[in-house]
Amino acid sequence: MSNPVGFWSYARSDDAHSDGQLSQLRTIVGKAIALQFGADITIWQDIQAIPPGADWAASIERTISHTVFFIPIVTPRYLKSQHCLAEFQSFHRRMIELGHDDLIFPILYVGVDQVGVDETAFGDELEALRRHQWIDFRPLRHSDPRSHEVWKWVDGLAENILRVAVPVSKADHEAEESRRHELMRIAAEEARQREAAAKAAEEARQREAAAKAAEEARQREAAAKAVEEARQREATAKMAEAARQHAAATTPTEPHSLPDLNAQYAGASVPAVQPDPNAAPVSVKQTTDGVARKRRIGLLATSVGGLAAVAGTLTMVFMRHEAPQPPTIIPASTPVVSPPAPPAASDVGGVSSVQHVPDLQGSVDQVLDSASLIVSGKIVNLYGIRGADGRPARSMQRYLESEGNLVQCFARDDGYQCRANGQDIATHAVRMGWVRTRQGAPPQYEAAELEARNARVGIWAK
Q: Is 374 exposed, middle or buried (0-12, 13-18, 19+ CB in 10 A)?
A: middle
Question: For position 124, what pLDDT does the model report?
Answer: 86
pLDDT at 57: 76
For residues 54 and 246, the model is more confident at 246
What is the Cα–Cα distance from 107 to 133, expressed in whole angstroms? 9
Q: What is the pLDDT of residue 285?
A: 46
Q: Are 435 and 389 in contact (CB under 8 A)?
A: no
Rounded Cα distance, 377 and 226, in Å: 18
Model confidence at 30: pLDDT above 70: yes
Confidence of residue 242 (pLDDT cuts 50, 70, 90): confident
For residues 330 and 25, the model is more confident at: 25
Q: Is pLDDT above 60 for 193? A: yes
Q: Is the pLDDT of residue 1 over 60?
A: no
Q: Which residues contact 377 (CB under 8 A, 6 or more apart)?
A: 365
Tell me: the pLDDT tens digits for 94-128?
999 999 999 999 999 999 988 888 889 998 898 89
Is 43's pLDDT higher than 90? yes
Q: Please, which pLDDT band fits residue 261 given cuts at 50, 70 and 90?
A: very low
Cα–Cα distance for residue pair 419/270, rounded to 1 Å: 56
Fold topology of 349-461? OB fold (Dihydrolipoamide Acetyltransferase, E2P) (2.40.50)
Report percent pLDDT > 90 for the chain.
56
Per-residue pLDDT of 334-353, as tens digits, reads 444 444 444 444 444 445 44
Name the β-bridge partners of 410: 417
Query: Cα 446 to the chain's mean position, in Å?
Result: 49
Top-confidence residue, 325 or 221: 221
Higher-scoring residue by pLDDT: 45, 256: 45
> What is the phi/psi pair of residue 380, to 5°?
-120, 120
| Contact in structure between 437 and 429 (CB atoms under 8 Å) | no
pLDDT at residue 339 in the model: 43
β-bridge pairing 423-424 and 415-420: antiparallel
- Beta pairing partners, 327: none
pLDDT band at 211 (very low <50, low <70, confident <90, very high): very high
Sign (positive or negative) of CA dihedral 14, 15, 18, 22: positive
Q: Is 434 within 8 Å of 392 (Cβ atoms)?
A: yes
User: How many alpha carbons fall within 13 Å on the CB side of residue 210?
Assistant: 6
- Average pLDDT taken over every residue of the chain: 81
Quick check: 25 pLDDT over 60? yes
pLDDT tens figures, 267-318: 444 444 444 555 445 444 444 455 456 556 555 555 555 555 545 544 443 4
Asked if residues 236 and 363 have their Cβ atoms less than 8 Å apart, the reply is yes
- Beta strand pairing call for 135-136 and 360-369: unpaired
Confidence (pLDDT) at 235: 86
Report, as an integer, the average pLDDT of 138-167.
Answer: 93
pLDDT tens string 130-143: 999 999 999 999 99
Contacts of 102 (CB under 8 A, 6+ apart): 132, 164
On the question of pLDDT at 325 being above 70, the answer is: no
Angle at the Cα of 386 from the Cα atoms of 382 and 387, rounded to 5 degrees: 85
Dihedral sign for Cα atoms in the order 270, 276, 279, 285: positive
| pLDDT at 37 (0 to 100) | 92
At 177, the pLDDT band (50, 70, 90 cuts) reads confident
List every span in the chain annotated with CATH 2.40.50.90. 349-461
pLDDT bin (cut points 50, 70, 90) of residue 355 is low
pLDDT, tens digit, for every residue of 374-393? 999 999 999 999 999 999 99
Range list for CATH 3.40.50.10140 in the chain: 5-184
Is CATH 3.30.465.10 the right assignment for the domain spanning 5-184? no
Query: What is the C-alpha to C-alpha distance for residues 174 and 298, in angstroms, rounded to an integer?
Result: 135
Please tell me the predicted confidence (pLDDT) of residue 291.
Answer: 47
pLDDT given for residue 178 in this prediction: 87
pLDDT tens for 401-454 read: 999 999 999 999 889 999 999 999 999 999 999 999 999 999 999 999 999 999
pLDDT at 55 over 80: no
